[in-house]
Amino acid sequence: MAEALLARDPEDSGVLALKSRAERDLGLNDAAVGSARGAWAAADNAGQRYDAAMAMPQGLASDGQKFRAQFWLRRAMQAAPDPAAKKVAERDFAYVRTRSRLWLRFDASIRPSNNVNNGSSSDILWFYGLPLVLSGDAQALSGTEGTFGASLRYRLAETEVAKTDLTVSALGRRVALSGEAKAQAPGARGSDYAYTALEVGLDRTWRPAGLPGAEARATLTLGHDWYAGDPMSNYLRLETSLSKPVTPKLAFSGSLALERQDRLDSAIRSADIWTLGFGMTTLTGAKDRIGLGLSFRDTASDSPEIDHQRLRLDLDWTRREPVMGARLALGLWAEMKDYSLSRYSPDGRLDEGVGAELSLAFEKVDYMGFIPVVTLSGSRTRSNISLYDSQSLGVGFSIRSKF
């Protein structure tokens, strides 16, 4: 029937989309993709573009090309003529994604800040009772941070109770100093604070026998990073975790991480790190999600500036109902770091820090499943050594996938 109609009008987008679905049902996947592509090219309104974009992933997914199918389903979301049609595209996207071997994720953000170098909020260092004036670049510098991250996950194996993934990720951070910062520290450059990291890893998740509803995870990661354009370290990290719901609204978790850092810029700064964490998540009566986490980290190093112990408490709240059209999340944290030795004090060093981050995800401002997120964050650290007193305040803008 479709071929008869196309004989009359070869560029009828609706008929081409119908033909694509029929070809896919007949197992003619290559032909189905070709017809859907023709339907997309011939479409002249949102409804026709939506039909074409929904037909294309059916042929691609049936041919095993689930990653490409996800891209077309994002196009369908954007072309959807009404909310109901968009929900169908989102549902199909979720279905295809769970069955795809390959995932790609990109994150980008830009954040003006009053402390892009993690510098001191004080201009004086008291050194064994003597006041020393800190250089401009040792103090907090204002500017703008830009961050870009990309990660790839490929499913190596999967059963009903376990899955194993290969992961590759990259992270880059670049800094542009403000005019005020350049006047304060004439010799400083934004490139002095550039950071880049590359990682490859294996990630295995499984359901432990005898623990209904529980999920265990183990991740082995090998990484290399650069600071200011120079190699900084090689590192190997093993992370394990176990989460277990005890009621439909309450779950507990525990984690253990071991890491070896070999510093390439200064061998004495190499470190062995282990971190132990405990967490709890619960749902309130309004279905808001609240998470509480407590962690202890021990960093052993020959450098007194690196060797320390840290205790940290995190509290996270995610509101279920939007606020002024935005999904709201709030995170609070407090931590204490204890350095037994310091070159600046015979009593060692003790840092106490607190921070908060508020994010608003504007889910209605949606382009192909990507939404803007505005983040306001601030932190403050007080130390018995004024060099390490710091405070930071920044407003960030990022693009994030809804899925």
Tens digit of each residue's pLDDT (9 = 90 or more) over 132-156: 888 888 999 999 999 999 999 999 9
C-alpha–C-alpha distance, residues 20 and 62, integer Å: 12
Question: Between residues 64 and 260, which one has the greater pLDDT?
Answer: 260
Please name the residue ranges forming H helices in 316-370: none
Element (H, E) at 112: strand 102-113
pTM, two decimals, is 0.86
Domain harbouring 91, CATH code = 1.25.40.10
164 and 60 assigned to the same domain: no
State which residues form the domain around 89.
Answer: 2-98
45 and 172 assigned to the same domain: no
Pick from 98, 123, 152: which residue ends a domain? 98
3-state secondary structure string across 258-318? EEEEEECCCHHHCEEEEEEEEEEEEECCCCCEEEEEEEEEEEEECCCCCCEEEEEEEEEEE
120 and 49 assigned to the same domain: no
pLDDT at 366: 82
- pLDDT tens figures, 215-243: 999 999 999 999 999 999 999 999 999 99
- pLDDT tens figures, 360-391: 999 888 888 888 999 999 999 999 998 899 99
Given pLDDT bands bounded at 50, 70 and 90, which one contains residue 249?
very high
Element (H, E) at 150: strand 143-158
The residue-averaged pLDDT of 167-188 equals: 94
Q: For 384, which DSSP code?
A: S
316 and 190 assigned to the same domain: yes
C-alpha–C-alpha distance, residues 256 and 206, integer Å: 16
Given pLDDT bands bounded at 50, 70 and 90, which one contains residue 131?
confident
Percentage of the chain exceeding pLDDT 90: 66
Among 192, 196, 202, CA closest to 222: 202
In the chain, % helix, strand, coil (3-state, to 5) comes to 25, 50, 25
190 and 235 assigned to the same domain: yes
256 and 114 assigned to the same domain: yes
C-alpha–C-alpha distance, residues 74 and 77, integer Å: 5
The residue-averaged pLDDT of 154-170 equals: 95
**Cα four-point dihedral sign 4, 6, 9, 12:** positive
Element (H, E) at 107: strand 102-113
pLDDT at 157: 94
Residue 280 has pLDDT above 80, yes or no: yes
Question: Between residues 28 and 336, which one has the greater pLDDT?
Answer: 336
Among 164, 159, 169, CA closest to 203: 164
81 and 229 assigned to the same domain: no
Pick from 41, 71, 98: which residue ends a domain? 98
61 and 208 assigned to the same domain: no
Report the number of distinct structural domains present in the chain: 2
Is 110:397 a contact under the CB 8 Å cutoff?
Answer: yes
90 and 110 assigned to the same domain: no
Pick from 98, 131, 157: which residue ends a domain? 98
pLDDT at 378: 94
CA–CA distance from 119 to each of 116, 134, 348 (Å)? Answer: 8, 10, 20
Residue type, 261: Q
Structure tokens at 330: 């709030």
C-alpha–C-alpha distance, residues 337 and 385, integer Å: 13
Please name the residue ranges forming H helices in 80-194: 83-98, 179-184
Domain harbouring 153, CATH code = 2.40.160.40
pLDDT at 143: 94
Among 26, 16, 1, 22, CA closest to 49: 16
SS3 51: helix
Q: For 135, which DSSP code?
A: P
- pLDDT tens figures, 331-347: 999 999 999 999 888 88
180 and 296 assigned to the same domain: yes
Residue 128 has pLDDT above 80, yes or no: no
190 and 93 assigned to the same domain: no
Among 21, 25, 75, 24, CA closest to 53: 75
C-alpha–C-alpha distance, residues 379 and 182, integer Å: 23
Average of per-residue pLDDT values in the chain: 92
81 and 129 assigned to the same domain: no
Phi-psi group of 369: left, alpha or beta (phi > 0 → left; psi -120 to 50 → alpha; rest → beta): left
Residue 403 has pLDDT above 80, yes or no: no
